[in-house]
Every structure is written in C-alpha cells, then in structure tokens.
C-alpha cells in the first residue's frame, strides 16, 4: 500500500507513475475479494494498493488531487524499487 499523502478533504485524486496517469479502480472494503483484471486499487482515502507487484511497477509514483476549489495539489513523489527474483 502507498499512502495518500494529503490529509485535507479532496474531491478527486489520481495516481501518476513516471509522469503517466495510472488507471485505478475503487477498492471495495466490504470484503477481501480480489478484483480480477485490476492491479491498481485506490481506497476512499486515496491510498494506492498494487496487487501482484511487477518489475514494470518500478519508478516514481505521485498522487495528484483536486481540492474543493478546483486547485490541483501534488503529493511528494516516492520511488518504488522492485527487486527481481533471486
């Protein structure tokens, strides 16, 4: 899980990897079932969950959110390093 860095109430948020928007779906917290065909899940707080992390997930990740006034706020970027199998 990569935590959403912004504590303020935001209307919408997206996750960006290496400058490209990542397609996510809303995580269903009512059960622990996996969502077939989707690896990038976002919960109601904006936290990103990556299911079955792969080498291509390695890179710079950043959350961008829109506040109630229409301003885009960017979280501090984080670097995810994925190690290969040994």
Instruction: Outline where 1-86 has alpha helix (H).
Output: none
pTM: 0.75
Q: Are strands 59-66 and 12-17 parallel, antiparallel or unpaired?
A: antiparallel
Q: Is residue 86 part of a domain?
A: no
* pLDDT at residue number 39: 94
* pLDDT at residue number 5: 56
Whole-angstrom Cα distance, residue 11 to residue 20? 20
Q: How many domains does the chain have?
A: 1
Residue ranges in the chain whose pLDDT is less than 50 = none
* Structural contact between residues 73 and 64, judged by C-beta atoms closer than 8 angstroms: yes
**Domain containing residue 16:** 12-71
* pLDDT at residue number 33: 61
């Amino acid at each position: 899980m990569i935590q959403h860095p912004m504590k303020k109430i935001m209307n919408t948020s997206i996750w960006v990897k290496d400058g490209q928007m990542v397609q996510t779906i809303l995580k269903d917290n009512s059960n622990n079932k996996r969502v077939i065909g989707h690896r990038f899940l976002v919960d109601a707080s904006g936290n990103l969950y990556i299911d079955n992390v792969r080498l291509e997930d390695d890179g710079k990740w950043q959350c961008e959110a829109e506040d109630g006034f229409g301003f885009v706020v960017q979280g501090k970027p984080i670097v995810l390093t994925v190690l290969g199998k040994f």
